[in-house]
Amino acid sequence: MGLRLYMDEHVPAAVTAALSMAGIDVLSVQQDGHVGESDAAVLARACELERVVVTQDEDFLRHAHAWQNAGRPFTGVIYAHQLRMTIGQFVADLHLLAVLAEPGELAQRVQYLPLR
């Protein structure tokens, strides 16, 4: 079945477009009408939609870790540093995760990219 992704507003539109063209179930914060929301609100929205958040915002990690420490359930976060991956690598790693990971597999976790 694969992962359903929720792209934070910091993720380049090219990444979202490439994944969508490859048949990955991806929704951006922009498409969902939630631009400018707090990181906590984006994480809560992703949970509501049963999607894993994809972000390049280091500040977002604070919220994910706070939710982990509090035992608050969330659907998962995938994080890639803005300067440590090309868009092509970012797309390839997200595609691999989206296809191979099962829904719920990243729950309460932060997955750092690159995978290799």
Q: For the chain, which domains are there?
A: 5-113 (3.40.50)
Q: How many CA atoms lie within 13 A of 47 on its CB side?
A: 16
Q: Which parts of the chain have pLDDT scores under 70?
A: 1
- The one-letter code for the residue type at 78 is I
Task: Supply the pLDDT for residue 7.
Answer: 98
Opening angle at CA 27, ends 103 and 49, nearest 5: 50
Task: Supply the pLDDT for residue 24.
Answer: 97
Give pLDDT tens digits for 31-42: 999 999 999 999
Q: Please check whether residue 98 is in contact with residue 3, taking contact to mean a CB–CB distance below 8 angstroms.
A: yes
Q: Please check whether residue 35 is in contact with residue 28, taking contact to mean a CB–CB distance below 8 angstroms.
A: no
Task: Supply the pLDDT for residue 66.
Answer: 95
